[in-house]
Structure 1
């Protein structure tokens, strides 16, 4: 075999390996992005938009129910936050889910979820029960000591 044929075969193999790796990355990205979208809580009092930012998943408040006796949605502030500098930020648009990473099994882990009602931040794991149902578990310490919130896809 001539040197040109060997070089051609090697370059052909590298190109095909790169294509296969790209396809694998795209399939994994597609699977990990299954939680991207807007989700409504089972109690129908909160909408959160989940999005991908540099391979991690975040969620921001896009709507929540307000009682007539309270300020309107745009006026709610993060008054319970332990950091006084953050107490003037609005609930609307606030990132309440941060840094989730996909583990390959319809599960996103190692993130946090923030509760603006209490000002507390919890470790979080998110599981996709099916294409339209998301289970968010917030916990302290170990997952056993936590609480689930169920959300349903709205788009």
Structure 2
């Protein structure tokens, strides 16, 4: 059974390699923690984040979020739903929304982070994985299976 499955996969990989297509990219995961650093945006353009090295962890600040700007599409809303009353008057512009992502070399992804939603005022657990050159940022409560994934590509 395994041989019958592996045969076509190996043949496809060899064929792709012979005609110059990327072979490993579809199966690739990050091999370095710094691969997360940079500007990432959703394919629909509704969110844009800047991932950065925050010392022992990685974090992200918001550059643009469709739900975080006023009707003019440019002015960022205030953080009125923040559970901390002291932060409710701050602008969400360049606010750090993802914190504490730690590189897990064994799994080839960033784990143990937090994702703050300025649109809801709620904080969720977060993890990030590079898959086929795209960043999959998963926010969840409890278990990763009960969450939502935002797929981002590197911004040009």
TM-score bucket (shorter structure)? 0.7 to 0.9
Deviation at 1:67, TM superposition (A): 10
Aligned residues: 125
Change over 3 Å in CA distance of 1:42–1:144 after alignment to 2: same
Gaps of 5+ in 1: 1-29
Q: If the length of structure 2 is used for normalisation, what is the TM-score?
A: 0.73
Matches within 5 A, 1:1-155: 31-65=32-66, 70-104=71-105, 105-131=107-133, 133-155=134-156
* Inter-partner Cα distance in structure 2 for 1:140 and 1:68: 25
* Inter-partner Cα distance in structure 1 for 2:114 and 2:43: 20
Deviation at 1:129, TM superposition (A): 0.6
**SS in structure 2 at match of 1:47:** strand
The structure number with the bigger radius of gyration is 1
CA contact (8 A) 1:64 1:73 kept: no
**SS in structure 2 at match of 1:74:** coil
Q: If the length of structure 1 is used for normalisation, what is the TM-score?
A: 0.73
| Cα deviation code 1:97-150 (max 9, x no counterpart) | 00100001331000100110000000001001133x100110111111111111
**SS in structure 1 at match of 2:75:** helix
After TM superposition, the structure 1 stretch with the greater mean CA deviation from structure 2, 66-75 or 79-88, is 66-75
**SS in structure 2 at match of 1:33:** helix
Q: Larger helix proportion, structure 1 or 2?
A: 1
CA RMSD of aligned residues (A): 2.2
* Inter-partner Cα distance in structure 2 for 1:124 and 1:100: 8
* RCO comparison, higher one (Cα < 8 Å, 6+): 2
